[in-house]
Amino acid sequence: MFNTVTPREAVAHLQPDIWAKVNRLHVRKMIAEYAHEQIIQPSYRHVKQGWVCYVLTADQPNIEYRFRAKILRLNHWYILTKSIEKLVDGQPAPLDALAFIVEFSEQLQMDPALLPVYMEEVAATLYGSAHIHAQESPSSAYLAGAGYQEIEHAMTGHPRFIANNGRVGFDACDYRSFAPEAASPMPLLWLAGHRSCTEFTSIAPLEYEQVKRQELGRLADDFDAIISSKQLLPAEYIYIPVHPWQWYNKLAGIFAPDIAANKLVILGYGQDQYLPQQSIRTFFNVDHPEKFYVKTALSILNMGYVRGLSPYFMRTTPGINEWVNTLVENDAYLRETGFCTLREIATTGYSNHNYEQATRTDNPYKKMLAALWRESPLSRMQPGQRIMTMAALLHIDMQGEALLPALIQLSGLDPDVWLKQYIHVYMSPLLHCFYQHDMVFMPHGENIILVLENHVPVRTIMKDIGEEVSVLSADIALPEVAGRLRVLVPDEVRTLPLFTQIFDGIFRFIAAILEEHMDYPEKRFWELVANVVLEYRQQHPQLEQKFEQFDLFVKEISPDALNRLQISNNRQLRNRANPFDVPSIGLVENPIAAFRPASSFTKMATL
């Protein structure tokens, strides 16, 4: 049912030429992102053929890296990949990403206790990257016109994090079974949790039996029969979808007392086939795409978190989603832009009382058995539309070609027109949620689905609502169920999520791709961004006081430093109670500050 490999097959893709290629690409990313966050400080040497030549000295002065680069806005390092060379005692040496971490561990200020785990995550990231390169993945030109799942499974990881696909806990067989870029369609396991330990919560009028019947069909009767054969009552149990890895590696052993007491009953595999999405623990039903997404707990360490799901959070997730969705649907401007959310409409969580009573603090053992059901994005599409993860706009294929230029070319539109439309449908709704409702999302590439018509974005769909929405004001009335969304922060940092998530997390990379692959002026892209902000401002004069108070045209900004976060604690990037208490990359020039209106805003800047 799942992929098994021989010892040789497990490492067949680790060929010298492929390994050298992925290490060169990763060292480029390491230098670029560490330098972006000012963790390391390359030194200027001289200019050569339009490029600035830099040298980077390791903790040991006999080791140095030389490369050519251009520094773009937001301190983005556009490095010429082929120019990177490593010298040890003046002699050329091969590029090695893990050696780089060791050589710069003092400058990285790595805790010695965390360093080996960080290195393991980077090694696993390289292992996966080598697998992708060995498979000759689809070209960017092909993906520009491909289907949603083809694009989803061609993505290669977060653009900023150095350790972005570690998946610590997976073995070589698990990688081929469960990693998004390698997996084949697979079924989920189902367990039955006794109602004394299990809660089901949903958005009215959806009820447990409806979810059970929709997701399992006739198999629900077979599962009921399994419960009855143990002289137990099906009505006393709630059925829970489970990641197969979680069952074999965590639940079967750690939850053994509950299994022996029939508080937890193994039912078997479901019939529907699923594909894991970029987030690893979220599944898309490929047999019945109209059915719900399923998100399960998965206790592997990946990109700063052990990827569990909290039964406690599951209790309020549907209510939070309903409140956010109602707010969005009732807002005329958001309706006009087509912005919408994918609701997490039902959840279930199982509380292991032994671990709940053992510690009062939050920990991964309390998040091992929970699941949620999210609406399918297909339910939000119209005829003639297709969908694409926004992460695709940052995708570079194995031949070094970018997807974004291919998509613009397919549309037949002038780049200015395409980009202005994209920036509008992505950013304008987020600006409105911030200025009108004091609400911020986490709109990174994996959380946004673009709806396209004729290869042009026409609107956006936001997902991952329950865990990644914050309300930044005490003045916004929240229902009790959504109380955990409120995060009160000083006014001077309220715009930080916009600058971090949108400007630094997405637009910085888009501007660099346009510069590198299309010779499209970076300044022109940021001018388009500024024009969208000004256009939104012109359309909402009633919010003028807030535009002045929370000014997006400030001279300097200081986005979050995500790699600094991961280096300091690779098991919890952010504290939900205080998500703004994070290190920054330092002050950098705001790329739209140059387009600030000369005086009080009177009219929109024109193209």
Compute the C-alpha angle 213/215/283, nearest 5°: 165
Written as one letter, the residue type at 140 is S
d(C-alpha 333, C-alpha 351), whole Å: 41
Q: Where are the beta strands (DSSP E) in 195-310?
A: 198-202, 237-242, 264-269, 274-276, 282-285, 293-296, 301-302, 305-306
d(C-alpha 310, C-alpha 351), whole Å: 9
What was the pLDDT predicted at 591? Answer: 98
If pLDDT is split at 50, 70 and 90, which confidence band does 166 have? Answer: confident
Residue 601 burial by Cβ neighbours in a 10 Å radius (0-12, 13-18, 19+):
middle
* Tens-digit pLDDT profile for residues 26-85: 999 999 999 999 999 999 988 888 899 999 999 999 999 999 999 999 999 999 999 999
Please say whether the beta carbons of 272 and 218 come within 8 A: no
Report the percent of the chain where pLDDT is more than 70: 97
CA 343 to chain centre: 17
The three-class DSSP label of residue 564 is helix
Q: Which residues contact 463 (CB under 8 A, 6 or more apart)?
A: 341, 342, 374, 377, 447, 448, 449
Helix, strand, coil fractions of the chain, as percent rounded to 5:
45, 20, 35
427-451 average pLDDT score: 97
If pLDDT is split at 50, 70 and 90, which confidence band does 602 have? Answer: very low
If pLDDT is split at 50, 70 and 90, which confidence band does 8 have? Answer: very high
H helix or E strand, kind and range, residue 337 = helix 332-337
H helix or E strand, kind and range, residue 431 = helix 415-437
- Inter-axis angle of helices 403-411 and 415-437, to 10 degrees? 110
152-168 average pLDDT score: 92
What was the pLDDT predicted at 574? Answer: 63
The three-class DSSP label of residue 141 is helix
Q: Is the sign of the CA dihedral 546, 547, 548, 550 positive or negative?
A: positive
326-339 average pLDDT score: 97
Residue 492 CB-half CA count within 13 A: 3
- Inter-axis angle of helices 219-229 and 208-216, to 10 degrees? 110
Provide DSSP, 495-528: THHIIIIIIIIIIHHHHHHHHHHH---HHHHHHH
Strand partners, 462: 341, 448
What was the pLDDT predicted at 424? Answer: 98
Could you give the maximum distance between any two Cα atoms of the chain, in Å? Answer: 80
**Closest C-alpha to 362, from 295, 318, 308:** 308
d(C-alpha 154, C-alpha 451), whole Å: 18
What was the pLDDT predicted at 607? Answer: 39
219 pLDDT exceeds 70?
A: yes
d(C-alpha 298, C-alpha 168), whole Å: 11
124 pLDDT exceeds 80?
A: yes
| Cis peptide leading into residue 289 (ω within 30°) | no
**Closest C-alpha to 434, from 338, 507, 533:** 533
What was the pLDDT predicted at 476? Answer: 93
Please say whether the beta carbons of 291 and 272 come within 8 A: yes
* Domains annotated on the chain, with CATH: 9-136 (3.30.310.280), 172-374 (no CATH), 385-595 (1.10.510.40)
* Tens-digit pLDDT profile for residues 564-578: 999 987 766 666 566
360 pLDDT exceeds 90?
A: no
Between residues 104 and 598, the one the model is more confident about:
104
Average pLDDT, the chain: 94
99-126 average pLDDT score: 94
What was the pLDDT predicted at 606? Answer: 38
d(C-alpha 533, C-alpha 543), whole Å: 13
The residue to which tokens 């009855």 are assigned: 228
**Closest C-alpha to 269, from 195, 188, 390, 381:** 188
What was the pLDDT predicted at 103? Answer: 98
Q: How many helices (H) and strands (E) does the chain have?
A: 22, 25
601 pLDDT exceeds 60?
A: no
What was the pLDDT predicted at 605? Answer: 40
**Closest C-alpha to 237, from 262, 261, 217, 272:** 262
Provide DSSP, 202-225: E-TT--HHHHHHHHHTTHHHHHHH
d(C-alpha 469, C-alpha 313), whole Å: 13
What was the pLDDT predicted at 573? Answer: 66
d(C-alpha 179, C-alpha 90), whole Å: 40
d(C-alpha 571, C-alpha 566), whole Å: 8
CA 326 to chain centre: 24
What was the pLDDT predicted at 2? Answer: 77
CA 538 to chain centre: 32
If pLDDT is split at 50, 70 and 90, which confidence band does 275 have? Answer: very high
If pLDDT is split at 50, 70 and 90, which confidence band does 238 have? Answer: very high
What was the pLDDT predicted at 137? Answer: 86
If pLDDT is split at 50, 70 and 90, which confidence band does 266 have? Answer: very high
Which tokens is 498 given? 């916009």
Compute the C-alpha angle 320/424/449, nearest 5°: 50
- Classify strands 344-350 and 370-374 as parallel, antiparallel or unpaired: antiparallel
d(C-alpha 537, C-alpha 547), whole Å: 7
d(C-alpha 372, C-alpha 312), whole Å: 12
Task: Read off the DSSP letter of residue 600.
Answer: S
d(C-alpha 12, C-alpha 28), whole Å: 25
Which tokens is 243 given? 């990641």
Q: Which residues contact 54 (CB under 8 A, 6 or more apart)?
A: 42, 43, 44, 45, 66, 67, 68, 69
Please say whether the beta carbons of 340 and 380 come within 8 A: yes
604 pLDDT exceeds 70?
A: no
Please say whether the beta carbons of 499 and 533 come within 8 A: no
287-312 average pLDDT score: 92
98 pLDDT exceeds 50?
A: yes
